[in-house]
Amino acid sequence: MSRDWFGFMTIPLVVTISLVAAVSAGYRLNTTPSLPLGLYRETKEPVRRGMFATFCLEDTAFIRLAKERGYLGEGPCPGGIKPLGKEIFGLPSDEICLNDGLITVNGKTIALTKAKATDSHGRAMPIPQLKSGVIPKGYALLLSPRHAGGFDSRYFGLVRLSSLHPVRPVCTW
């Protein structure tokens, strides 16, 4: 019986140690529709439009909202939540326009970016913080255009470039 107990306790321990090692080596597992599902690795590449990035929410109201509603699990970011993973759609000097609620960047409309009034559980969403205009120096627009209900820049606004961690897909499905 003690041998079974040892095996039962060893598996979770090995999994936990493996996950901690993977995260410290720059690997991230995405299990949300914000990005293609799969394994990603942090890169040292310069940030550019079209790449994926992870970042922590910085606004305390949005951190609280994400935590209370379970949008993000437990993690290392302020408030004890996980980082978000999104695609970079706009960089400094790009022009953002809101046309019938959809986001347009430099004249190109991004599908599925209309802010929703309620989330998937019928709870009221916050007033979108994103405004039409030119993206200022030091900021980026991050969206999840594969998911109409994405929690992204359409709600919490632009994200500081210095807070972004570019990631590349290792294996997605």
| 9 contacts: CB under 8 Å, gap ≥ 6 | none
Domain that holds residue 107: 28-172
22 is a domain residue? no
6 is a domain residue? no
Q: What is the pLDDT of residue 146?
A: 86
- Count up the domains in the chain and report the number: 1
At 18, is the pLDDT very low, low, confident or very high (cuts 50, 70, 90)? very low
2 is a domain residue? no
Task: Report the alpha-carbon distance of residue 37 to residue 122 in Å, rounded.
Answer: 25
40 is a domain residue? yes
Q: What is the pLDDT of residue 5?
A: 60
For the chain, give the mean pLDDT. Answer: 90
| CATH number of 158's domain | 2.10.109.10
Round to the nearest angstrom and report the end-to-end CA distance of the chain: 40
pLDDT tens sequence across 25-74? 689 999 888 899 999 999 999 999 999 999 999 999 999 999 999 999 99
16 is a domain residue? no
Judge whether residue 9 has pLDDT over 90: no
